[in-house]
């Protein structure tokens, strides 16, 4: 089965008034140049445009031209064909509330992008890509869709921007198991998304995902259509915690760019002792590219534990990476506007987590919420754990997986000014900008939820999205934005109970925190749906602020002195990085970048137990049995001790009794003092759950879930014989 659209790809809307993102005379000139002689002759006959009429005087013919082209073929339709490889009824036709039964579609989406369309002008190297006979640039990608089978229910679509080719929405919102091929009951969990009547869409947008057939991929062309291969510098780096003799060029198993010449003088490997330490060149005689796998480098003597290695190499064949942004744009446009859409919807939401939350911030900043026909694409965005980041999603030799943490993947173009939606000014550089500054139409701003955990404040400079660039004052949010800080949570929901092997030696602490951030996310997803679909105002924003004293510099953090648990003295910083004079064109000349002064990163203040004061507090934090930190420090390694561990927090149970508290010299209150009995604790938990439901931060249906978790937490903490 296939749905197919063809056309000239010229920017003419199918209905409504014509809106031009460029001056009218330039649009006329571009359209007339794009038409062949026959089409120009047709235009002249229909419009009465004399052969010698100046193009600049042709504005009055544009409406006629739009009618002619619209009759000939629809335009602005970058999705040209949808091939369905399989179509399956979900769970034998099980009904999901009012939405009814669902079906799963899987297959391939084909795209054709018009390089002359002004809404594609920001796609780096699109003009360097090979074109088909119609002058369009083609791509194709994997897709999977869960859709109601009843046409009347097809009102709202949710596109999850797949994190590195995977799928997280069912796990995050349906409490489902981890599966890339949902077919069994447990794969769909409690079906919250389906009970909301959402059409759930996943597509491949990233060209270099690991070679795994379960991952969604976008196949994009190599730039270099002018008969000359393009080359440039690509950078890789590694935090080496144990000595190895081989390192892969691709980040986390991703497909690297091919090597242009293994002997080229641009291929330079350096080593250093810390993130800002001086680089030392490793002699070329000591390392080499793997002869059997040029996507790896080797060193017979070993890449030494405790060191940071960085390779800059000359690569060839850059991909048109920015087509991933266009694909995410055009699939929802297809769903909303194409009369032949296989999964039609009236309105669109997008969800991105971590990497793809940053992707959606980049999507906004570069104006991709306007499609090739000048129409608004997404009505709402759910941007989760992106902090202040964007990323490598639209420049030459971009590596979308590189993410720039405090002690890994250093200084990639991730945490970039501007950070907030509203216009802001960096006093040091004199630059004024904002995430919404480059929208083609201000009316195309979607309603946005930003959700961040404490980890994003420590590890992704999240404070910058709601402070001034100098970190001295709070910055207001717009009416279309809501910001929710998931207090004392790490980057993802940790396991409970913790594993014995995660115990930090000599302490009561565990690596990783089980604070269940997925519970409030479910409630917030429903709130966003209601805001976009029904115009019901969502819960008010909840986040730390400078004015309230709940957002502070690291040195002002009032973390209690817990036995064996040290508070961080550092935080991830966003630098004013110089990637070269052509960076605004999507070209990197400085590898590695030249670093300027960092922007100040602030962190959430904590209470006497060490839990964060402001934001959305889960039941675990409102009725605490432990300290949940969103940070964890590297320790016992060959290098980088005291630096942040990527993504993880720390879980420190409270002392159970006053006797235990005094014996361990723990400054925190004991469980015994806070809740004399199990019944007292469960009563307090029930009251907290009631408050969360009233605040619309807990779904009523999840009340039993959180209370059962609370009971399990108490029982585990008090289990006889548990090592303390």
**Biggest alpha carbon distance in the chain?**
98
User: φ and ψ at 526, to 5 degrees?
Assistant: -60, -40
User: In angstroms, rounded to a whole number, what is the distance separating the alpha carbons of residues 174 and 177?
Assistant: 9
Structure confidence at residue 635 (pLDDT):
95
Q: Are 353 and 171 in contact (CB under 8 A)?
A: no
* The token pair that represents 721 in the structure block: 């014989």
Query: Is pLDDT of 184 > 50?
Result: yes
Structure confidence at residue 3 (pLDDT):
53
Query: Is pLDDT of 16 > 60?
Result: no
Range scoring the smallest mean pLDDT among 202-216, 323-337, 709-723: 709-723
* The token pair that represents 232 in the structure block: 């440039």
Query: What are the strands, taking DSSP E only, across 243-384?
Result: 244-248, 268-272, 280-281, 288-289, 296-303, 308-316, 347-353, 380-384
What number of CA atoms fall less than 13 Å from residue 285's CA on the CB side? 0
- Total Cβ atoms within 10 A of residue 122: 18
- Give the containing element (helix H, strand E) for 578: strand 574-578
For 257-282, write each residue's pLDDT tens digit: 999 999 999 999 999 999 999 999 99
User: In angstroms, rounded to a whole number, what is the distance separating the alpha carbons of residues 159 and 157?
Assistant: 6
- Total Cβ atoms within 10 A of residue 281: 9
Residues whose CB falls within 8 Å of the CB of residue 213, separated by 6 or more in sequence, listed in order: none
User: In angstroms, rounded to a whole number, what is the distance separating the alpha carbons of residues 9 and 69?
Assistant: 10
Give mean pLDDT, residues 515-519: 97
Query: Is pLDDT of 63 > 90?
Result: no
Instruction: Give the pLDDT band of residue 178 (cuts 50, 70, 90).
Output: confident
Structure confidence at residue 34 (pLDDT):
39
Instruction: Give the pLDDT band of residue 33 (cuts 50, 70, 90).
Output: very low
Range scoring the smallest mean pLDDT among 71-80, 236-245, 583-592, 654-663: 71-80
User: In angstroms, rounded to a whole number, what is the distance separating the alpha carbons of residues 378 and 432?
Assistant: 26
For 553-573, write each residue's pLDDT tens digit: 999 999 999 999 999 999 999
Q: What torsion, rounded to 10 degrees, do the Cα atoms 553, 556, 560, 563 define?
A: 80
Query: Which of 550, 524, 386 has the alpha carbon at shortest distance from 465?
Result: 386
Query: Is pLDDT of 11 > 70?
Result: no
User: In angstroms, rounded to a whole number, what is the distance separating the alpha carbons of residues 165 and 232?
Assistant: 26
Structure confidence at residue 227 (pLDDT):
74
Give mean pLDDT, residues 116-121: 97
Structure confidence at residue 7 (pLDDT):
35
Which CATH number describes the domain made up of 231-316? 2.60.40
User: In angstroms, rounded to a whole number, what is the distance separating the alpha carbons of residues 451 and 436?
Assistant: 18
User: In angstroms, rounded to a whole number, what is the distance separating the alpha carbons of residues 191 and 212?
Assistant: 27
Query: Is pLDDT of 29 > 80?
Result: no
Query: Is pLDDT of 395 > 50?
Result: yes
Query: Is pLDDT of 160 > 90?
Result: yes
User: In angstroms, rounded to a whole number, what is the distance separating the alpha carbons of residues 425 and 431?
Assistant: 6
The mean pLDDT value of the chain amounts to 90
Q: How many helices (H) and strands (E) does the chain have?
A: 15, 27
User: In angstroms, rounded to a whole number, what is the distance separating the alpha carbons of residues 209 and 215?
Assistant: 7
Structure confidence at residue 215 (pLDDT):
97
For 192-204, write each residue's pLDDT tens digit: 999 999 999 999 9
Give mean pLDDT, residues 134-154: 91
For residues 313-329, b (16+ Cβ closer than 10 Å) or e, as one string? bbbbebbbbbbbbbbbb
* The token pair that represents 415 in the structure block: 């945490």
User: In angstroms, rounded to a whole number, what is the distance separating the alpha carbons of residues 115 and 137?
Assistant: 7
Query: Is pLDDT of 76 > 70?
Result: no
Q: Are 637 and 629 in contact (CB under 8 A)?
A: no
């Amino acid at each position: 089965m296939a749905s197919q659209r063809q056309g000239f790809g010229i920017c003419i809307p199918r209905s409504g008034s014509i809106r031009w993102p460029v001056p009218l005379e330039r649009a006329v000139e571009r359209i007339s140049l794009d038409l062949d002689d026959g089409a120009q002759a047709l235009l002249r006959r229909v419009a009465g445009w004399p052969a010698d009429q100046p193009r600049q005087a042709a504005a009055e013919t544009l409406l006629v031209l739009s009618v002619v082209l619209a009759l000939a073929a629809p335009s602005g339709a970058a999705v040209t064909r949808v091939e369905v490889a399989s179509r399956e009824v979900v769970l034998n036709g099980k009904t999901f509330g009012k939405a009814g039964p669902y079906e799963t579609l899987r297959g391939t989406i084909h795209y054709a992008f018009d390089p002359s369309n002004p809404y594609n002008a920001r796609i780096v190297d699109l003009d360097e890509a090979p074109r088909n006979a119609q002058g369009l640039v083609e791509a194709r990608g994997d897709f999977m869709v869960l859709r109601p089978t009843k046409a009347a229910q097809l009102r709202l679509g949710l596109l999850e921007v797949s994190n590195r080719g995977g799928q997280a929405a069912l796990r995050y919102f349906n409490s489902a198991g981890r599966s890339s091929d949902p077919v069994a009951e447990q794969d769909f969990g409690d079906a919250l998304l389906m009970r909301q009547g959402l059409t759930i869409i996943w597509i491949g947008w990233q060209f270099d995902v690991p070679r795994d057939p379960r991952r969604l991929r976008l196949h994009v062309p190599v730039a270099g259509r002018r008969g000359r291969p393009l080359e440039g510098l690509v950078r890789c780096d590694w935090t080496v915690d144990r000595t190895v003799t081989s390192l892969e060029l691709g980040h986390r198993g991703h497909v690297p760019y091919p090597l242009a010449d293994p002997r080229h003088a641009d291929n330079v490997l350096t080593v250093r002792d810390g993130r800002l330490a001086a680089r030392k060149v490793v002699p070329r005689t000591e390392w080499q590219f793997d002869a059997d796998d040029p996507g790896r480098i080797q060193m017979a003597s070993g890449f030494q534990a405790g060191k940071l290695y960085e390779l800059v190499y000359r690569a060839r064949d850059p991909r048109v990476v920015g087509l991933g942004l266009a694909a995410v744009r055009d699939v929802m446009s297809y769903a909303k506007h194409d009369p032949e859409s296989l999964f039609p919807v009236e309105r669109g939401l997008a969800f991105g987590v971590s990497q793809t939350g940053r992707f959606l911030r980049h999507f906004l900043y570069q104006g991709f919420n306007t499609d090739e026909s000048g129409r608004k694409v997404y009505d709402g965005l759910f941007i989760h754990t992106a902090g202040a980041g964007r990323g490598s999603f639209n420049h030459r030799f971009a590596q979308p997986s590189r993410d720039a943490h405090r002690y890994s993947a250093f200084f990639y173009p991730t945490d970039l000014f501007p950070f907030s939606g509203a216009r802001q000014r960096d006093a040091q550089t004199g630059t004024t900008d904002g995430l919404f500054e480059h929208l083609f139409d201000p009316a195309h701003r979607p309603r946005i939820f930003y959700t961040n955990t404490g980890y994003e404040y420590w590890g992704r400079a999240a404070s910058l999205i709601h402070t001034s660039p100098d970190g001295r004052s709070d910055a207001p949010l717009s009416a279309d934005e809501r910001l929710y800080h998931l207090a004392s949570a790490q980057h993802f929901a940790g396991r409970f109970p913790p594993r014995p092997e995660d115990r930090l030696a000599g302490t009561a602490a565990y690596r990783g925190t089980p604070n269940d951030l997925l519970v409030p996310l479910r409630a917030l997803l429903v709130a966003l749906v209601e805001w976009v679909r029904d115009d019901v105002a969502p819960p008010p924003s909840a986040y730390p602020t400078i004015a309230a004293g709940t957002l502070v510099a690291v040195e002002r953090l009032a973390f209690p002195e817990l036995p064996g648990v040290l508070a961080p003295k550092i935080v991830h910083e966003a630098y004013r990085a110089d990637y070269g004079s052509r960076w605004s064109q999507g070209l990197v000349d400085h590898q590695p970048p030249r670093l300027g002064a960092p922007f100040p990163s602030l962190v959430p203040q904590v209470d006497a137990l060490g839990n964060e004061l402001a934001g959305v507090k889960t039941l675990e934090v409102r009725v605490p049995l432990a300290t949940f930190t969103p940070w964890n420090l590297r320790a016992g390694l060959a290098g980088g001790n005291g630096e942040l561990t990527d993504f993880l927090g720390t879980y420190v149970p409270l002392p159970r009794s006053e006797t235990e508290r005094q014996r361990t010299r723990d400054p925190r209150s004991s469980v015994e003092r806070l809740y004399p009995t199990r019944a007292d604790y469960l009563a307090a938990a029930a009251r907290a759950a009631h408050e969360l439901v009233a605040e619309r931060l807990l779904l009523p249906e999840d009340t039993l879930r959180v209370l059962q978790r609370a009971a399990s937490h108490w029982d585990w903490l008090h289990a006889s014989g548990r090592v303390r």
